[in-house]
Structure formats: structure tokens, C-alpha cells
């Protein structure tokens, strides 16, 4: 019996789904995805290169930004192979092990990005609330420890997900809703009792992104309180301006994901196209837009990038 079960596990194949299309549309649809992937990889790679080679950018906010760029590159590398396989080669099959590996890295990197957004919010809070102690608090060894702890926390929480899915029996059509594997979609394909996975999936969401967003919100409450104490109108605007890039990153990160959660919870009959588009936006849009936003808003970073290309 065990041998039969092992055989079933190894032979499980999932079918990924793309955007609803007809005729030759998949080839045309692949163009924006290829464009987004190239822009994301180039943009994040440039930020990594500039931060690494410019000693003047070895500051906490730019170090956190470079960590974010690494996570963005990881998400692009994790998702784009299956997305482009569907639209370029109409290849929809993915094995169980490959699917579990993909969903692990997608969820891991998304939660790491959430943690980095929290660290960046804390950075802005200290810079505004107590600027005199900022340099003493955000020293390089402490920043490294904060980043390492963020990764380890997420790793411990996310690591059980693929193992919980590994030993299920999958006896349905195994057609996944998206062009990549996610815990919710794979879990729903199982013909076993998934109660533990539902509870643990909710637990991971609340303990990672849910907790991070709550702490980010509280950080900004404290930031706005500190800003309101500034008597000079110009200084007040200057302090708020330092937070705009981060607020844009938070909105880009949270809005599609929260919208998907609401749709899954309350709008069961919503348009599949809308859900697929929001899924793409939640994964691909931040990695595409964040390098542009930070390059435009950060004068110091923008100048360094321009100098590299002018040389």
C-alpha cells in the first residue's frame, strides 16, 4: 500500500492556467510579461549594483532597499518560468515537487518583503522621532542582524507549508487557477482532510504579513504624531516627503493582496479574469514599480544612477 501511495505522489501533475484567450493571443500576451520581467530584473539589478559600489549609499534605508531588490529578483525568477512557458510554449504541466518548491519560494519571498517593509517603516520612524540617536541605532552589524532575524522568522513559519501538502492524495482534475503555484490553490486540489492546512495557512498569513502590516500602521501613527509636533511647515513637509516612496511600496504590496483575500472570502462568484489579474499584480507589480519609485523619489540614488549611465 505504501508503494502505491509513493507512486501516486510521484506521478501527480498539476495544470497551470493563464489568462482567458483565443487563437494566437497567448503569444501576444507574453510580450508584456517579458517586458515586465526584463524591466524588473534590470531595475533591481541596477539598484543592487549602485548600492554595493557607492559607499555613500551604505545607509540603512538603501541597505533595506537592496534587500528588497534581492527578494524582488527572487520572485521574478520563481514565477516567470511557468508564466512564460504557458504563453510562449503552451506548456501548462508542472510536477508536484516543482509546484511545492515554487509555492515555498513565492510565499517565503513575499513574507520577507513584508518584513522588510516593516524594517523600513521602523527606519523612517526613528529618523523622524529621534534623529540624534538614529546613527547609533542603525549600525551595520545591527542592520545585518535585523535582516537575518526577519528571514529566519519567515523561514520557520513558511517551511512547513510544502511538507503539509506533500503527503496529500490529489485525485481531482488538478487544474490550478493561476500561472504559478500557491498554497491555497494546491491545498484545494487535495481529496484529503485539509483542515490543518486551512488553520495553518491562516496562522502564517496573520503571523507574517498581518502582523507586519499592523506594526507598519502603528509606526506611521507614531510618525504622523511626531511630524505634527514640528513647528516649521517646510520641515514638516520635508519629513513627510521622506516617507512617500515607502508608502507607495506598502500600497503596491498590500492593495492587490488584500483585494484577493476579500474576493476569496466574500465574492465567490467574482470574475476569474479579475482574480488572475490581481494575482499577477500582487506578485509582479511591486518588483516592477518599486525600483522606479525609489529612483525617482530618492535624489541621492537617482544622481548615482545617472552618473553610472553617463560614464
Q: Is the pLDDT of residue 212 over 90?
A: yes
Q: Which residue has the higher pLDDT, 8 or 87?
A: 87
What pLDDT is attached to residue 288? 84
Taking residues 36-60, report their average pLDDT. 87
Contact present, 108 and 150 (Cβ < 8 Å): no
- pLDDT tier for residue 26 given thresholds of 50, 70 and 90: low
The model's pLDDT over 267-282, given as tens digits with 9 standing for 90+, comes to 666 677 777 888 888 8
- pLDDT tier for residue 292 given thresholds of 50, 70 and 90: confident
What pLDDT is attached to residue 21? 55
Q: Is the pLDDT of residue 78 over 80?
A: yes
Look at 139-153, 158-172, 212-226 and tell me which has the smallest mean pLDDT.
158-172
What pLDDT is attached to residue 290? 82
- pLDDT tier for residue 188 given thresholds of 50, 70 and 90: confident
Q: In whole angstroms, how far apart are CA 147 and each of 63, 65, 118?
A: 10, 11, 11
- pLDDT tier for residue 176 given thresholds of 50, 70 and 90: confident
Task: Set out the domains of the chain in order of their start, with CATH numbers.
Answer: 2-310 (1.20.1070.10)
Q: Is the pLDDT of residue 195 over 80?
A: yes
Q: Which residue has the higher pLDDT, 172 or 100?
A: 100
- pLDDT tier for residue 151 given thresholds of 50, 70 and 90: very high
Question: Which of 173-177, 243-247, 272-276 shows the highest mean pLDDT?
Answer: 243-247
Look at 4-13, 41-50, 197-206 and tell me which has the smallest mean pLDDT.
4-13
What pLDDT is attached to residue 8? 47
In sign, the C-alpha dihedral spanning 181, 183, 188, 193 is: positive
What pLDDT is attached to residue 265? 65
Taking residues 142-166, report their average pLDDT. 92
What pLDDT is attached to residue 160? 93
Distance CA 18, CA 119 (A): 35
The model's pLDDT over 89-138, given as tens digits with 9 standing for 90+, comes to 878 889 899 999 999 999 999 999 999 999 999 999 998 888 888 888 88
- pLDDT tier for residue 149 given thresholds of 50, 70 and 90: very high
Q: Is the pLDDT of residue 231 over 60?
A: yes
What pLDDT is attached to residue 283? 84
Amino acid at each position: 500500500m505504501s508503494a502505491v501511495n509513493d507512486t501516486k505522489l510521484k506521478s501527480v501533475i498539476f495544470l497551470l492556467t493563464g489568462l482567458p484567450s483565443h487563437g494566437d493571443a497567448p503569444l501576444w500576451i507574453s510580450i508584456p510579461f517579458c517586458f515586465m520581467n526584463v524591466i524588473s530584473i534590470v531595475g533591481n539589478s541596477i539598484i543592487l549594483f549602485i548600492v554595493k559600489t557607492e559607499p555613500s549609499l551604505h545607509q540603512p534605508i538603501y541597505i533595506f532597499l537592496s534587500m528588497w531588490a534581492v527578494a524582488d529578483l527572487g520572485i521574478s525568477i520563481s514565477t516567470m518560468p511557468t508564466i512564460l512557458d504557458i504563453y510562449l510554449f503552451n506548456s501548462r504541466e508542472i510536477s508536484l515537487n516543482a509546484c511545492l518548491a515554487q509555492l515555498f519560494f513565492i510565499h517565503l519571498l513575499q513574507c520577507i518583503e513584508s518584513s522588510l517593509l516593516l524594517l523600513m517603516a521602523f527606519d523612517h520612524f526613528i529618523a523622524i522621532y529621534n534623529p540624534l540617536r538614529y546613527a547609533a541605532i542603525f549600525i551595520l552589524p545591527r542592520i545585518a542582524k535585523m535582516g537575518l532575524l526577519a528571514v529566519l522568522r519567515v523561514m520557520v513559519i513558511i517551511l512547513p507549508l510544502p511538507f503539509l501538502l506533500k503527503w496529500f492524495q490529489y485525485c481531482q482534475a488538478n487544474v490550478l487557477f493561476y500561472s504559478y503555484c500557491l498554497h491555497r490553490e494546491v491545498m484545494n486540489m487535495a481529496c484529503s482532510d485539509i483542515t490543518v492546512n486551512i488553520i495553518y495557512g491562516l496562522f502564517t498569513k496573520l503571523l507574517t504579513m498581518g502582523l507586519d502590516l499592523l506594526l507598519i500602521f502603528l509606526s506611521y501613527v507614531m510618525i504622523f504624531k511626531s511630524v505634527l509636533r514640528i513647528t516649521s511647515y517646510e520641515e514638516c513637509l520635508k519629513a513627510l516627503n521622506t516617507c512617500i516612496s515607502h508608502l507607495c511600496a506598502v500600497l503596491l504590496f498590500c492593495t492587490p493582496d488584500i483585494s484577493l483575500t476579500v474576493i476569496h472570502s466574500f465574492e465567490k462568484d467574482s470574475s476569474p479574469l479579475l482574480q488572475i489579474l490581481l494575482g499577477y499584480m500582487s506578485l509582479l507589480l511591486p518588483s516592477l514599480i518599486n525600483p522606479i519609485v525609489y529612483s525617482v523619489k530618492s535624489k541621492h540614488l537617482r544622481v548615482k544612477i545617472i552618473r553610472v549611465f553617463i560614464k
